[in-house]
Every structure is written in C-alpha cells, then in structure tokens.
Chains A and B, each alone.
Chain A
C-alpha cells in the first residue's frame, strides 16, 4: 500500500525568507506521526501545504495519492483537519453543528455516537460558545473526524491544556487511531507529547528534517555527547564524548584501577533535543 503522505524536497520561501529548505517525509498508513519542532520551525507551513491550504515553492508532495494543490472535493472528503484557533459557529448547538458538518459526507458518523466518543454527550444541547477550552478542542476533533477521514491533521492540539486534559486527549486520539486505522499527523513543540503519542516522530528544525524515527530510534539519533568527569592531580578533569563507556575504560586502564570521582553524565532526551534544535537554528 502506498504511503499516506509522501514529501520530497519540499521548499517554501516567503519573499526572501526560506522557511522550508528541502523537507523529506514519508508517513505510513495507520500510524500516528508527529512533526516536532520549536515555534517558527515551519511546522504549520508544512501542514498547511499538505492540507492544500498553501501553495509550495518547490518539491513533490503527495497526500493520499493526490497533489494537495490539485485536490478535488472527493480528495478533501478523505481528510480531517483540526486547527489551533477555531472559535467558529459559536451560536450553533454542539449536536447541531456536528450533524450539519456531517451532511457534507456520504458516510458520516452518527452525531450522538461521535459526541459520546469525545465525551460531550452532556453538552449536546449546549451552545458551542459556552464550552470550556478543553471541551471546545474535543468538539474540534469531533468535527475533524465526522466524515471518517483516512488522514487526520492536528495542529498543536494540546496547546493550553492542563496535564490531565492532555492525558485524556492522548487516550482519545489513541483510541480513534487504533479503532479506525486512521492515519494521524500532528504537530507539537512538546517532546514528551511526541514520545508518548507517536509511532514515529520527525524533528523539523531550521527548515529541514533533522531526525526521524520511533522514540527509541530518535533517542539514538539525537543523542548529544556525554560528559565524563574525574579527579586527577587534585583537579577536576572532563571530556565530552559520544562513547562514554570507552572513555571510562581507557581511564581505568590509565589509572590501573578505580578512577577517583568518576562521573558519567548522559544528557536526557529533552536536553539532546534542545541541543539539536539549537544546532539547526
């Protein structure tokens, strides 16, 4: 089966500013994929190009087998989109807007089942404008998946959530993805979120994909050098190395026994990530 999303050499230039400088991506069907990167790295630009909302400067892009710039209504019906800043349809009822947007699709989800799935059954009759921030975002997800999309885009879906709401949101996404075999692409600037949620993650920094893979692969790929410290001649010595085990062994050889004050520090994934995006910027 072909990939859900395939991107080769994607470039985007605004005036003289080069936001994307050759992005390559391959997202498989049925996986939860996160695009991770600091603010301003070009995540939203990338996702908007994939959604067909923005025309690219150069490169090849295929989303569900179509070029998004030439996407038909039939193609659009296979996508679901959840954005960051929606405050729309505030005067509509919650169930009313779910049912209304469902009408645009041939095989829409039942509004009541959908509201139950996102935990908004109790708010079905309420006005959209009266929902809390978390409820509103869950409604946005419901509206994103009402047409049973094959591919769901989520742009920074948990910004502004408290930890509990975030946890619930992750469970909801996992359930939806595993039940329906839906492919999910979400952007985030939060490494922990990417690690928890995604099958695979790509790090976008400085307009390029600097690392891509499963959480374990990513950890290896981005691993920043470790620091080995010890005491010698009454002074603290240190080396920075990609192979701390070898450095420690060599020290033991040289000392012919225990090394005083030996300390090996491996940076956490988060520190590695920060160093990586620092290098790319």
Chain B
C-alpha cells in the first residue's frame, strides 16, 4: 500500500464516521441501543451481587458490555457493512479507481475503530455514572486486552463479510450465534453459572477471553470466586486472542482479495436482482 492510499483511506474512514454521527436515526439507535438499554439494565439489577462474590452486577456488566461492544462491532456491524458495500457497488466503484481497494479497507477499519471507541466510551461512562463501576485499576491490561481483542475479531469480521451473500442474509445468519455467545460467554452472566459443557464451548471463542481480560483490568480479586479455575489466567487470554488474530489475518486477505477481484458490473446486477426478488 502506498502513502496516498493510506492517507485517503483514513480521510475516507473519518468522513464515513462523521456521516454516521450526523445521521440522526443512526445516532439515536446507537445512543438508545447501547447506553440507554445498558442504563436501564443497570438500574434494574445493577445493585445485586454476583453470587459468591462481593462484586456488584453493575460492575460486572460494565466489563461484559465493553467486551460485547468490540465483539459485535467487528463480527456483526463490519460484515454487514462489507456485504452492503458489495451490494450497492461501493466496492466496485473503488475497484475502478487506482489504489481504491487498499484505501477502502483502511477506511472501513478507521470507521470501525471510531465506532468501537465511541460506544466503549458510552458504555464506560454509563457504567461509572449509573452502575457504580470503578475505573480500571490495571490500565495497561485494559489497553492490551482492548487492542488485542480488537485485532482478534476485526480480520475475522472482514473474512465473514466476504463470505456472506448480502446484507439481509448477514443479519439473519449472524444474529442468533451472536446472541448465543453473548449469553454463554460470561459477559452477561458469570460463566460459572453455565453447565460445564457450555463453559468449554464458550472458551473456544474470543468473546469469553476478551471479557475475562477486561474483568481482570476492572474488577477486584473478589470476583475470582466466580471465574473458571479461580484465576484471571491472563497468559491464556493473550494466547487465545492472539490465536484468533492469526486465524483472522490468515483468512481475511485471501477472502478479501477473492471478493474484490470477482467484483464486476454484471455480478453487481445479478446480486441486486436476487436481493430484489427475495
């Protein structure tokens, strides 16, 4: 990638981020969908305590929602955006332009990171204000877990986005597994509430590890009573997230290249016809 593509890509990502912020409906959905719902949940059960610990569920849920924000933006919002860009011809448009595809990918990444940053800040602010969540006691852990957790899921999301036929299918295909992981991965309820088989499955996915890492950064050791093995297992967090990052980075370039190379006017027309028919 050359410097020009990188520079235009960053500008492009920022422009699309501002478009999201200016879009009133999008803004209200984000505000109510993340901060609003979260605040209600905190008011409802935030004062309870996680069983067997002295940690309030408000504190617990703040870290869980933070992890889920990164996860859902990368694995739901990003694939849907990629699928929509293909269906509307955005990807093809950039393909007609010299250096357009690298700039497009940079732009998508920038928009995504901006969204994650805005929503994480909202969740954290709501958690502190309404849920009585503490500020993190381990800032370095917060930073590396957030960064590594993002790198673990963004390439994966890009890869998934390339495999989906269209944005409508994307919602249908991704919605249910996302909900399932949200419930089982220990971000809404402590993972030790789950049957052991479910615990094993949850530990195969990056959401559990990201949540665990964030709890390590925020919560007192009193929480360990409700964690698997009674430990923060930070080396495992690093290893699991890194493994997912590697898988994503191996898959994404191959799939992205395949999808962008195949993009052409007649394929665009076919897809739009199929989308209209369904």
Residues of A participating in the B interface, judged by any CB pair closer than 8 Å = 44-45, 47-48, 51, 53-54, 73-74, 76-77, 79-81, 83-92, 96, 100-101, 103-105, 143-144, 147, 155
Contact = CB atoms under 8 A, between A and B. Distances in A.
A87 B4 CA distance: 26
Interface string B128-143: 0000000000000000
Interface in B87-118: 88-90, 92-93, 95-100, 103
B19 interface: yes
B99 A73 contact: yes
Interface in B18-76: 19, 23
A91 B88 CA distance: 12
B89 A87 contact: yes
Interface stretch (B168-176, B239-247, B262-270): B262-270
B215 interface: no
A104 B100 contact: yes
Interface of B: 4, 8, 11-12, 15-16, 19, 23, 85, 88-90, 92-93, 95-100, 103, 263-266, 268-269, 272
A85 to B, nearest CB: 5
A85 B263 CA distance: 13
Given A54-B264, A77-B98, A90 B15 contact: no
B264 A90 contact: no
Given A48-B265, A91-B19, A100-B12, A83 B100 contact: no
A92 B15 contact: yes
Q: Is the interface of B mostly helix, strand, loop or mixed?
A: helix
Contacts of A91: 16, 19, 23
Contacts of A53: 95, 263-265
Given A96-B15, A104-B99, A84 B90 contact: no
26 contacts: A45-B266, A48-B265, A51-B96, A53-B95, A53-B263, A53-B264, A73-B99, A79-B96, A83-B265, A85-B89, A85-B265, A85-B268, A85-B269, A85-B272, A86-B92, A86-B93, A88-B90, A88-B93, A92-B15, A92-B19, A103-B11, A104-B98, A104-B99, A143-B93, A147-B97, A147-B98
B8 A103 contact: yes
Contacts of A47: 265
Given A54-B264, A91-B23, A100-B15, A84 B269 contact: yes
Contacts of A80: 96
Chain A to chain B: the 6 pairs with minimum beta-carbon distance, closest first? A73-B98, A88-B90, A53-B264, A83-B265, A77-B98, A88-B89
A76 B90 CA distance: 17
A86 B95 contact: no
A89 B16 CA distance: 10
A74 B98 contact: yes
A44 B270 CA distance: 13
Contacts of B23: 91
A120 B99 CA distance: 27
